[in-house]
């Protein structure tokens, strides 16, 4: 059994997609190849009809404020005005998850950290209807004692509320928690909440940084 850290850190809070899985860009590329819709047109469709300062429908989807069907219907309608035809996107989740694989090195590290006595939590921006798919990819409940899913709690990273909720559920002070995420903006928000953060870019960079933060040998 690995010794628990001697530097005061007692919990690890990890993102899901892009940290415990292969990069999300590969999944979006697979969707692009299948649909023929460019990232530029997808971005335009996401913003179609939005007033200045109005948030993306994606954010409402991730908070569980709209359903996946409502989101996809709106996106299809917006793309129709851009492309001149209405694409069929209701297979998006299958294509997306079909292009993702578990990041076995990071999963092994998380399992090791749990064995060392650290409290383990997952904090993910996700979609309510996708829960069975992403949970089936990883030994989620075996490793993580707390799962905070944006679609079920009505807040998303990098909103401060979701970090506060995560800390409440973990039951450990922010300064004793290490946060890991593949988006820098989410890491910055975690640091504002008082946590230490590691910005995941790749295994070779992040795993030594996580071990160093926890006072473990590389």
Could you state, in order of their start, the residue ranges of all structural domains in the chain?
11-22+102-213, 26-97
pLDDT for res 218: 61
Residues 6+ apart with CB under 8 A from 32: 38, 39, 42
CA distance 158 to 216: 28
Q: What is the mean pLDDT of residues 69-80?
A: 93
What burial class does residue 47 get, using C-beta atoms within 10 Å of its C-beta: 0-12 exposed, 13-18 middle, 19+ buried?
Answer: exposed
- 15 has pLDDT over 70: yes
CA distance 128 to 65: 10
**DSSP annotation of 175:** G
Count of alpha carbons within 13 Å of 51, Cβ hemisphere only?
1
- 138 has pLDDT over 60: yes
- 120 has pLDDT over 70: yes
CA distance 73 to 66: 11
* Tens digit of each residue's pLDDT (9 = 90 or more) over 91-110: 888 888 888 999 999 999 99
CA distance 182 to 78: 29
Percent of the chain surpassing pLDDT 70: 97
**In this predicted model, which residue has the larger pLDDT, 17 or 7?**
17
Mean pLDDT, the chain, integer: 92
Q: CATH number of the domain at 11-22+102-213, please?
A: 3.40.50.1000
CA distance 21 to 138: 9
Whole-structure pTM value: 0.92
CATH value of 26-97 in 2.60.120, 1.10.12, 2.30.30, 1.10.150: 1.10.150
pLDDT for res 1: 42
CA distance 84 to 81: 6
- 19 has pLDDT over 70: yes
pLDDT for res 95: 83
- Side by side, the strands of the sheet bearing 196-199 are 146-149, 119-124, 11-14, 177-181, 196-199
* Tens digit of each residue's pLDDT (9 = 90 or more) over 41-61: 988 998 887 877 789 999 999
* Band (217; pLDDT cuts 50, 70, 90): confident
Residues 6+ apart with CB under 8 A from 88: 76
Treating both helix axes as pointing N-terminal to C-terminal, what angle do 39-47 and 24-35 enclose, rounded to 10 degrees?
90
């Amino acid at each position: 059994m690995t010794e628990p850290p001697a530097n005061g850190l007692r919990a690890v809070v990890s993102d899901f997609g892009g940290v415990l899985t292969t990069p999300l860009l590969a999944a979006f590329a697979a969707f692009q190849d299948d649909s023929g819709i460019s990232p530029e047109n997808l971005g335009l469709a996401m913003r179609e009809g939005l007033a200045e300062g109005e948030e993306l429908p994606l954010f409402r989807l991730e908070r569980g404020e709209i359903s996946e069907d409502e989101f996809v219907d709106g996106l299809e309608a917006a793309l129709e005005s851009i492309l001149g035809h209405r694409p069929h996107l209701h297979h998006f989740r299958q294509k997306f998850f079909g292009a993702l694989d578990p990041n076995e090195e990071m999963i092994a590290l998380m399992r090791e950290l749990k064995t060392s006595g650290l409290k383990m939590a997952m904090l993910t921006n996700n979609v309510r209807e996708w829960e069975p798919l992403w949970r089936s990819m990883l030994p989620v409940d075996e490793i993580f004692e707390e799962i905070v899913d944006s679609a079920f709690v009505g807040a998303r990273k990098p909103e401060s509320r979701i970090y506060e909720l995560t800390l409440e559920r973990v039951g450990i002070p922010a300064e004793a928690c290490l946060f890991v995420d593949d988006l820098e903006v989410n890491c910055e928000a975690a640091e504002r909440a008082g946590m230490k953060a590691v910005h995941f870019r790749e295994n070779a960079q992040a795993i030594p940084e996580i071990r160093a933060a926890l006072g473990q040998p590389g």
